[in-house]
Amino acid sequence: MAHTDLEQEAAALRSEIERHNYLYYVLDQPVVDDSEYDRLFRRLVDLEKEHPEIATADSPTQRVGVAPVTAFTQHGHLVPMLSLDNAFGEDELRAFDDRAKKGLGGDAVQYQAELKFDGLSISLTYEDSLLTVATTRGDGGTGEVVTPNARTVRGVPLKLREHVPGIIEVRGEVVMYKENFAQLNLSRAERGEQVYANPRNAGAGSLRQLDSRITAERKLNFFAYGFGAGDRLAETQSGLLDKCRALGFAVNEERKVLCGLPEMMAYLDKWREKRPSLPFGIDGIVFKVNNLDQQETLGATSRGPRWAIAYKFAAEQAFTKLNRIFAQVGRTGAVTPVADLEAVIVGGATVTRATLHNYEDLHRKDVREGDTVVIQRAGDVIPEVVGPVLDKRPVDAVIPEPPTVCPECNQPLSQVAGQVALLCTNKQCPAQIAAKFRHFVSRGAMDIEGLGEKIIDRFLELGYLTDLPSIYTLKDKEAELMNLDRMGELSIKKLLSGIEGSKTRPLHKFIFGLGIRQVGDRGAYELASHFRTLEKLRHADYDQLKAVADVGPKTASEIWEWFEDANNRAMLDQMLDLGVKPEEGAAPESTIFEGKTFVFTGTLTQMTRPEAEALVLKLGGKAAGSVSKQTTYVVAGPAAGSKLDKAIQLDIPVLSEQDFLNMVDSEEIAGPGTLGL
């Protein structure tokens, strides 16, 4: 095909794909099914791959993320991103309406009511219709540049659908849909990774990934709610959002222009009730003076505009009956109480169970079987028992006793001194064994596709699985497996190739999969980076283990004991004999932090703490959990506590997060930074 024909085909595909994105994400009216969309997308990917010279920056193929950055750069907003004043209750809303009326001469004021998305605000800069910069809100004046990440977000046009000359800033909220959040947490839990507390945190964490390919996988959505810099594109707030929609942005479809307190209250009532059925989280309603001239007349304070107010909803709670409290056994043998509830809808999902964390917490809250309890979904998702409704306590409500024997294997439970968790120490406990398998094969560990929870249970029952090495003998039973009911040839082939592929997983994943007490994914990563080979790790003595970043005395002895145990040693040898050969731990990419130990404290805003620590390791340094004379730098964010005090006491240089990132960027070790300590 001639070059111009190829270019024409690519251009046609791009506009066709963006049209489908618009129909799907903005208008909510898809006209093709997923397979047709995928076909168009793949054709465009192939074309651009074969002919890189015809690729364009606004191509939808650019929405899948690009190679990671080491840090976010800062970007000043042309117009500050203000916050909103809050109103709680009718009186405060009336006061707002009265102030607006007074400021505008006394007549009734028209407002646009909008949903208040519970997400993360961003600002998108378009230059001559092309998306050039995307930033987080930051401190309102300056934000972090997250352009590659924002490109992956649904509802963000890479190119405006109508030409707008010059620069405009479009503002709005990035949210994670409840469904995507639930999926993400499920797979994180399966992999043994920490789950996000709510969709807002998950959305913020996902947008702030240094690797935008991860952001792309997280499936975020954007809703535009206003403008920053740029020519005024309409006369009213409702006109602005109509314009946003025409330009290609997803907007608040539930918005309504209304007037007077009764209408405002009716709108609030309607959305308070409908809130659970929305696919994304909202934490209130925003009322904005609709006329833009009037907005200008009212102006703003340093905090927020006088023409808008956020009416906040209360946390979503519900009452239900707690039928029973039962004990659940985890992988490490920890036994936790779980509440079995009469089904109730909270925050849009039916809740039948809620964890009670541990027996101490349960007694502190004085929760009893038969109680009516208050259930709350923290940030929409994880249900918790807030406490009992004492007025409704039946006379025969039962105070739950902690179990003395394991609910699964009947062996006596023990309690480690100083810890709240009850433990089943029976190594043969079936619940623990099944949980160990689930952990070993999970995505964060050996990532064995096809060996799900149900298959594990079934294979345990049939005796095909006995201990972890038995996973690697399943291939000798291929013929038998083929004879099992409900097991197709294809799924068995897939399972066996998944098992085969897992033999060479990176060392840190293998270590994590072993399920050594106190060794999470980060600890496993540190052990792998430190010792590099399984051989070195398994022969390390207590002191050598303790020398690893973030391995304290307790963890060191857990690891040492684990490798001393004859059963564990035999199990490892067996796995090695069966061909398991974990890939050696990666060498650091650079030596700029060699010999330097970092401690992070307080809130980091540009990356998570594990990400920061992984960065230190990658650059040849060490990351520790506590401050000592061996610490070279303490990186302190807001809300830093005792670690910061200790650093000052020991005269250890304290860096801000930005100093640290500058250091990473400049590849040289700077002195103490902006905290001026």
Name which of 387, 393, 177 is nearest 277 in CA terms.
177
Rounded Cα distance, 626 and 552, in Å = 9
Q: Which two tokens stand for residue 223?
A: 């809703």
Q: Which residues pair with 341 in a beta bridge?
A: 322
Whole-angstrom Cα distance, residue 161 to residue 170?
A: 14
Calpha distance 248→27 (Å, rounded): 9
Q: What whole-number distance in Å separates Cα of residue 288 and Cα of residue 295?
A: 8
Considering the complex, what minimum distance in angstroms separates the CB of residue 80 from ligand IVH? 9
Going by C-alpha positions, the residue among 148, 108, 90, 92 that lies closest to residue 124 is 148
The DSSP output letter for 369 is B
Q: 101, 102, 116, 270: which is the annotated catalytic residue?
A: 116
List the end-to-end C-alpha distance of the chain, in Å, as a whole number.
Answer: 65
- Distance separating alpha carbons of residues 163 and 150, to the nearest angstrom: 20
CB of 281 or CB of 403, closer to ligand IVH:
281
- Min CB(497)–ligand IVH separation in Å: 46
Buried b (16+ CB within 10 A) or exposed e, 572-608: bebbeebebebeebeebeeebbeebbbbbbbebbbbe
The pairing of beta strand 422-424 with beta strand 334-346: antiparallel
> Of 139 and 564, which has the nearer Cβ to ligand IVH?
139
- Nearer to ligand IVH among residue 225 and residue 510 (C-beta): 225
b/e per residue, 23-56, with b = 16+ CB within 10 A? ebbbeeeeeeeeeebeebbeebeebbeeeeebeb
In angstroms, rounded to a whole number, what is the distance separating the alpha carbons of residues 583 and 331?
25
User: Which residue number places its CB atom closest to ligand IVH?
Assistant: 121
d(CA 473, CA 122): 52
Min dist. Cβ of residue 82 to ligand IVH (A): 4
**Which of residues 252 and 601 has its CB atom nearest to ligand IVH in the complex?**
252
Q: Read off the tokens for 642.
A: 């005792």
Q: How many residues does the chain have?
A: 677
Q: Provide the minimum distance between the beta carbon of 264 and ligand IVH in the complex, in angstroms, as a whole number.
A: 15
**Residue 116 forms beta bridges with which residues?**
284
**C-beta closer to ligand IVH: residue 286 or 507:** 286
Do the Cβ atoms of 465 and 471 come closer than 8 Å? yes
Backbone angles phi, psi at 259, to 5 degrees: -150, 130
CB closer to ligand IVH out of 136 and 376: 136
H/E/C letters for each residue in 475-531? HHHHHHHHCCCCCCHHHHHHHHHHHHHHCCCEHHHHHHHCCCCCCCHHHHHHHHHHH
Q: Which is nearer to ligand IVH, 287 or 660 (CB)?
A: 287
Nearer to ligand IVH, 252 or 631 (CB): 252
Is 116 an active-site residue? Answer: yes
Report in angstroms how near the CB of residue 305 gets to ligand IVH at its nearest.
5
Closest approach of ligand IVH to the CB of residue 121, in Å: 3
DSSP 22-90: IIIIIS----S-HHHHHHHHHHHHHHHHH-GGG--TT-GGGGG--SPPSSPPEEE-SS------EE-SH
List residues near ligand IVH by CB under 6 A: 82-84, 114, 116-117, 121, 173, 225-226, 252, 286, 304-305, 308, 310
By C-beta, is 115 or 655 nearer to ligand IVH? 115
Catalytic residue numbers, as ranges: 116
